[in-house]
Structure 1
Amino acid sequence: MNNILLPTDFSDNSWNAITYALNFYENAACNFYLLHVNELSDIVVNDSSYDTSQETIQEVYSKPTKKKLVALLKKISEKIPHNNNHKLYTISDNNFFIESIREQVQEKKIDVIVMGTKGASGLKKYITGSNTGDVITKVKCTTLVVPENAKYNKIEEVAFPTDYSINYNLQTLLPLSKILDANSSNLRILHISNVDEKLNVSQQQNKELLADYFNNSKYSFHNLTNKKVENAIQCFIESRNIGLIAMVAKNLNYFQQILFHNKVENISYHTDIPFLVLHEI
């Protein structure tokens, strides 16, 4: 049984992430937890009686949120075919956002967090300082980031950009392996460098580790030379049928270049292709 956390702010982007998740896990037995957090910082600012009246919090924040969550469940039942493999639960929490996410991950034994993001002007603008950005950088849980234009299609190919600079913890790669198996997907391990140069001994060992780990999956290695990682990934995606980009948060160099660069000209993968962010546990 998979435990999936779906934080929602009731926006179109979060709805898109919810529908993507339900389709993504269509053939898997899952508990889905729809979570809305009334952030304490907002409550303190907006309600001067916060420290003396929990009743006010219930009336002003909790009850309306619970009604919205019930309405969201109804919308799901109307828009998405019923799936006997899926159970949906709602959670309303008055807390700081990241603390709430961490608590739910621990209490519900969450396997994957699925969150939406708006990326029309680049993920940097909408992720840096946002709830989604905080989750993928501060919560050690596999996170599937669903951009605003992403629509679910069977995952034929998964791109895995790497510079082979880190020795991957095999447990970290397990969520990716499960996705490959569930979808019979092809893994495209992509190495991008500034110049055409050979791998050093450590990089070669890390490459061989990946080959050994994914030995039972369909995988291939690819090399591109480009000064800008994001441009190389865009070219690679345009030349293939990539449905998902996977990366390890520990690999900060690649992670930041792929998600947090400033210029986004001709970069469409930010708005179209979901990202799977893997964490070492």
Structure 2
Amino acid sequence: MKNILIPTDFSENSLNAIRYAVNLYKDAVCNFYILHVEAEIDNSESNLNNHSTVINVKKTSINRFLKDIVNQAKKEFTKNKKHHFFTIANNDSLINAIREQVLLKSIDLIVMGTKGVSGCTERTVGTNAGNVITKVKCNTLIVPENAKYVVPKKIAFPTDFSINYNIDTLQPITQLINEYKSEIELLHISKKDLVLNESQQRNIEYLEDYFAETEHSFHFLTHKKMENAIEEFVISKQVGLITMLAKNLNYFQHILFHPLAKEISYYKNIPFLVLH
């Protein structure tokens, strides 16, 4: 049984995240928790109406929208009778609301839609998604607005081999690989020729051993710009999913929060699985 939390603001973007999640786990037993977070209504919003009446009307509308989303998901996205949907409305901050549900519902995965735009600057993920993956310690799948579900036969795993890996952290990748018979492409990108230190070499050996029973390969690329290298790699290998470890700070910050050139498009189409 997987417990999956999907925040929604009722946009097409967040609906696409639900669609993607349901398809990715189409054969699994899942509880999908659809969460909407609405800030507390200020007294000034009530105008001529009674404040409590305004709150009740808004709550009724939110509950109706949540119910409509669940009905649409059941009708259009899944035929699996073992997919169960639950709705949650919360008036706390987004981060607090998500943290609370992660604990209460034993959430395995958060799935968030993103437009990949922060202010006027193109970035891999938007503000809300960025806050969740940095402030909530839970595996998070980021689904770009233009992402369409395809079986993830190729999974890219950018890493600098500088951190210690463990079975618990890597397990979500293994589950997807086993489910879809995917191949994992471990990718290192540097601006100059790589010279591995002893720690990096040990970590590579660990990954070699861990993925020994699955299709995998290591790629060492030299490129001035990491985002361009990833773009070329994603296209050439027909990558369907990018995964990375949150504690791999060097790659994590650069790939997810670095301003991107207009010609870079992978972050608009390819989902990111961030592991904690």
TMscore range, shorter length: over 0.9
Which residue of 2 is the match for residue 91 of structure 1? 88
1:124 is aligned to 123
Provide the rounded CA distance (Å) in 2 between the counterparts of 1:245 and 1:125: 12
Aligned to 1:112: 109
Of 28-37 and 78-87, deviating more is: 78-87
1:134 lines up with 2:148 in the alignment: no
**What TM-score do the two structures reach when normalised by structure 1?**
0.91
Report the AA paired with residue 33 of structure 1.
Y
Match of 2:29 in 1: 29
Paired residue type of 2:80 = N
Secondary structure of the structure 1 residue equivalent to 2:219: strand
Corresponding residue for residue 12 of structure 1: 12
Structure 2: how far apart are the matches of 1:117 and 1:164? 28
What residue is the counterpart of 2:230 in the other structure? 233
Aligned partners of 1:60 and 1:85: how far apart in 2? 33
Alpha-carbon offset, residue 254 of structure 1: 0.4
Counterpart contact for 2:8–2:14, Cα < 8 Å:
yes
Q: Give CA-to-partner distance per residue, 1:144-177, whole Å, 9 cap, x none.
A: 0000111111111100001111112331111111
CA contact (8 A) 1:123 1:259 kept: no
Shift of 1:47: 4.5
CA contact (8 A) 1:123 1:270 kept: no
Q: What displacement does 1:79 show?
A: 2.1
State the secondary structure of the residue aligned to 2:152: coil
Does the residue aligned with 1:145 lie in a helix, a strand or coil? strand
1:82 is displaced (CA, Å) by: 2.4
Distance 1:20 1:165, change over 3 A: same
Alignment of 1:243 with 2:243, yes or no, is no
Distance in 2 separating the partners of 1:203 and 1:125: 27
Secondary structure at the aligned position of 2:68 is classed as: helix
Cα RMSD (Å): 2.1
Q: How does 1:26-105 map to 2 (within 5 A)?
A: 26-40=26-40, 43-44=41-42, 47=45, 55-56=52-53, 58-105=55-102
Q: 1:9 to 1:17 in 2, by over 3 A?
A: same
SS of corresponding position for 2:240: strand
Q: Secondary structure at the match of 1:242?
A: coil
Query: Tell me, what secondary structure is at the counterpart of 2:14?
Result: helix
Identity %: 51
Q: Structure 1 residue 151 and structure 2 residue 145: aligned?
A: no
| Contact preservation (8 Å) 2:124, 2:258 | no
Quick one: distance in 2 between partners of 1:133 and 1:272?
17
How far off is 1:63 after superposition?
1.8
**Any unmatched runs of 5+ in structure 1?**
none
Counterparts of residues 187-202 of structure 1 (less than 5 Å): 187-202=184-199
- Residues in 2 aligned to 1:122 and 1:136: alpha-carbon distance in whole angstroms: 19
* Gap regions ≥5 residues in structure 2: none
- Secondary structure of the residue that 1:9 maps to in structure 2? coil
1:234-268 per-position Cα deviation (integer Å, ceiling 9, x unaligned): 11111112000001111111011111111323211
Number of positions where the alignment pairs a residue of Structure 1 with one of Structure 2: 272
1:196 is paired with a residue of what secondary structure? coil
CA apart distance, 1:45:
7.6
| Alignment equivalent of 2:183, drawn from 177, 182, 186 | 186
Q: Could you tell me whether the CA contact under 8 Å between 2:122 and 2:260 is conserved in 1?
A: no
Looking at structure 2, the residues matched to 256 and 56 of structure 1 have their Cα atoms a distance apart, in angstroms, of 45
The residue aligned with 1:262 is: 259
Q: 1:126 to 1:45 in 2, by over 3 A?
A: farther
Q: Which residue of 2 aligns with 1:218?
A: 215
Which one-letter code corresponds to 1:112 in the other structure? L
Q: How big is each residue's C-alpha offset from its partner over 1:104-156, in whole Å with a ceiling of 9 and x where there is no partner? A: 001000000011001378752752xx221111110000000000111111111
